[in-house]
Each structure stands twice: as structure tokens, then as C-alpha cells.
Amino acid sequence: LGEWTSRLGARLGIRKREFPEKMDKTLRWLKYGVLILIIAATWRAGTLVWRSYDPWVAWMHLSAGWEEFLESPWSYFSLFVLVIGMSLFIERFWCRYLCPLGALLAPLQKIGLVKVRRSEDDCINCHRCGTVCPVRLDPEKKDVENSAECIACGRCVEACPKEKALFFGTSKKKLAVLTVGIATLAIFLGGYGIARGTGYWQTYSGSTRSSEESFSEAHLYGWMTLENVSETLGVSVEVLLSAGSLPDDFPRDVPLKDIDGVDDEELLRRLTSVLEAETKEYPENIPSNPDEIKARLTISQIAEAFGLESGDILREAGWPIDSGLNTSIKTLSEELGKSPDDIREAVKKLSE
Ligand code: SF4
Ligand code: SF4
């Protein structure tokens, strides 16, 4: 994106500017600050706070139209516009000064085996490499080999007129740019393929609503599948199907926004409001007699109503201790091949 913006700036005839060298060096440290801030905020909040400001997410959200921009101009898009705007005037503004991913990868660039290297003996000091670098390094003067700032784009290597003066390679072997590109792609796709093939590929954080949070406070998005929503809300898919009056064959592993005829936002609103209403209504319906416990109540609700520990009820009933506490005992019993009577009996025993 920075590259395109930069080219657009050139087409529009905007002259690129540079900060003075000292200031440029100092500003490059900003991205490490951004990274530390993100890690600290994520640690504290237990969720990726940065997501609401990430220019890349903003870029992805452009497809949602300008309404979203107008709804939250100070969120995603303010930074996005800043990044795009600044890149028109300063090459790779984001990458050089603010990108937290760049800050994270910088140490790897330093210890990497394959990197841009210069041979002092072969260099004819023509200065070409320094004029093409998008992050304003000068391989002729600067020790690029040990620079954390080099993004290994290969532009300087392409521009160098002397075959052996500037090259990609290890300390012992020179590698063709194409070889490095293909190897990088192969490693990336290989890793991705293995992760997918072995079931370890996960793009969903799997955070679950805490017992203090209401259903509507949980982080739900249209890209989630019904299974993701179930995990996030801490209720079973069956409960969601019933709360949303959805058919049994409703797709469980397809993003809600991709299901034909489904308005994902409306569906998520409906699910959370129905679940919230049911939760609010339960205290009045809790019987004092364990024999009358309704099968639609959850273990947490029963535990709270009878002043017991959820774990004790599950243990006494002989149900797995990791059973979903916010799932109705009807659904749980069906999943486990047990009977809701186990819970009624357990509560009766524990209440004696
Ligand atoms: S590889 Fe790219 S970023 Fe690194 S020094 Fe060369 S031109 Fe600059
Ligand atoms: S482009 Fe090649 S030959 Fe020219 S200064 Fe850079 S490394 Fe040396």
C-alpha cells in the first residue's frame, strides 16, 4: 500500500521529502514504542486493542463503504488516512517510523542468514544503490548487512551495475534474487500448508465471554462462523440455533457474512438480545425444589440459584468437569449421552 501511494504521489508530481538525518534516525525508534504499547495494551485488555486502529484492517473495511468511515472516523480510518497521506510525501512513512510488525521483525533481519551484502572490493562507488532504497538506507555507506531497517526488497541489488558488488546471500554463498524470492514463497506457503493440513491454522482468537460480561458485550463479528460465536459466547451451537430460530442445517463453519440470505449484523443482534433476555428472566423461574429444575437452565444458573459450586454439581453428577457452564443441561445431556436428572439428583444431594 505504501508502495502504491508513493507511486501515486510521484504521478501527481508530489516531490518526496525527507526529515533531516538525525531526526530520521530518532523517529525510526517510534515503531518500537508502538509495538511495546500494543503488547502492553493487549496484555491489559486481554484483546487485540490495536485492531480498531490498524490501517490494514481499515483498508479491508473500505469495502464496507463510506458509512463505516463516517460512523467511526477517529477509529480505523484516521490512522489509515494519516498513513496514506504521509506516504504521498515521505517514502514508506509507515514502514519506517510506525509499523509495529517491522519493529517485531527487525531483530530477525539482524540475525538472518540470507541478507543483502556488499563486497567492498567489487564496488565502484557509483551511488546508485543509495538512490533507489525505499527506506532511505545507503548500502554503499551503511552497513546494510547488520541493519535492522533493511526490508530486503532487493531494489539496490537490481540497481547495482556490478555483478558481485551487491547481492543477496549468506556469508559464504551468493544467491540470485529470484532464488531468494522463490525460497521465501515456498517457506511461507509450506508453513501455511502444513498448518492448514494439520489443523493448526487459526485466525480466530477464541476468546470467551467472561461471566461478568453481558452477551452484547462479547466481541462478535460477521466473519465469525456459528461455531466461533458459540465459543465466544460460551453457549453451544444448539442453543444459538434455538435462540436465533435457525434451522438445524444452518451452516456452522461458514462466516456468517458469507451465508446467502443472512444479515450477519442483524443475526448477531438477535442472538445476543434473545440470550440476554433469557438470562435475565431465569431467576424468577428457578424452582426451590431440585426435582423441578428446568432442562433449559445452565449449570452456572443452577449453581447460582442453589448456592453451589458448578464444579461440585458436575462432579456429583458424574459429568465431565469441563462441560460448558453456560450451556443448557438439556443440550449438555444430549451431547454427553446423559440425563438432566443426573443434575437434579446431584443438586438434591449437595443441598441436603
Ligand atoms: S534491500 Fe531494499 S531496503 Fe534493503 S538496502 Fe536494499 S533497497 Fe534498501
Ligand atoms: S550500486 Fe553497487 S557498485 Fe554502485 S555504489 Fe552501490 S554497491 Fe557499489
Q: Which of 128, 157, 164 to mutate to test the pocket of ligand 2 (most atoms within 8 A of CB)?
A: 128
pLDDT (mean) for 59-81: 63
Which residues have CB under 6 Å of ligand 2?
118, 123-129, 139-140, 159-160, 162, 165-166
* pLDDT at res. 210: 67
How is residue 14 written as a grid cell? Answer: 508530489
Nearest atom (ligand 1) to Cα of 136: 8
Per residue in 206-227, pLDDT (tens digit) is 667 766 677 777 778 888 889 8
Does 280 or 165 have the greater pLDDT score? 165
Ligand closest in space to the Cα of 148:
1
How far is the C-alpha of 198 from the C-alpha of 309, rounded, in Å? 38
**Sequence letter at residue 81:** V
106-140 core/surface letters (b: 16 or more CB in 10 A; e: else): beebeeeebbbbbeeeebeeeebbbeebbbbbebb
Cα 139 to Cα 115, 129, 144: the distances in Å are 12, 6, 5
Q: Cα–Cα distance between 301 and 153 in angstroms, integer?
A: 58
| Residue 37 backbone dihedrals phi, psi, to 5 degrees | -60, -45
Ranking 79-93, 95-109, 111-125, 138-152 by mean pLDDT, the lowest is 79-93
Question: Which ligand is the nearest neighbour of the Cα of 121?
Answer: 2
Nearest CA to ligand 1 atom 8: 133
Q: pLDDT at residue 332 above 90?
A: no
Our mutation pick for probing the ligand 2 site, out of 120, 138, 158, 162, counting the most ligand atoms within 8 A of Cβ, is 162
Mean pLDDT of 97-105: 89
Position 211 scores a pLDDT of 61
Average pLDDT over residues 75-104: 81
Tell me which range, 3-12, 122-131, 133-142, 252-261, is most confidently predicted by mean pLDDT.
122-131
Q: How far is the CA of 122 from the centre of ligand 1 (A)?
A: 18
Q: Of all atoms in ligand 2, which is nearest to the CA of residue 162?
A: 3
Of 122-131, 155-164, 279-288, 333-342, the range with the lowest mean pLDDT is 279-288
| Domain extent listing, the chain | 2-106, 114-142+150-175, 215-284, 286-351
Q: How far is the CA of 12 from the centre of ligand 2 (A)?
A: 30
- What is the tens place of the pLDDT at every residue in 264-310? 888 988 888 888 776 665 555 567 788 888 887 888 888 888 888 88
Q: What is the pLDDT of residue 82?
A: 76
**What pLDDT, on a 0 to 100 scale, did the predictor assign at position 319?**
93
Beta-carbon-side half-sphere exposure of residue 25 (alpha carbons within 13 Å): 3
Q: What is the DSSP string of 188-208?
A: HHHHHHHHHHTT----S----
Region 95-124: what's the mean pLDDT? 88
What's residue 186's pLDDT?
96
State the ligand closest to the CA atom of 163.
2
Please name which ligand lies nearest the alpha carbon of 124: 2
Atom of ligand 2 nearest to the CA of 124: 3
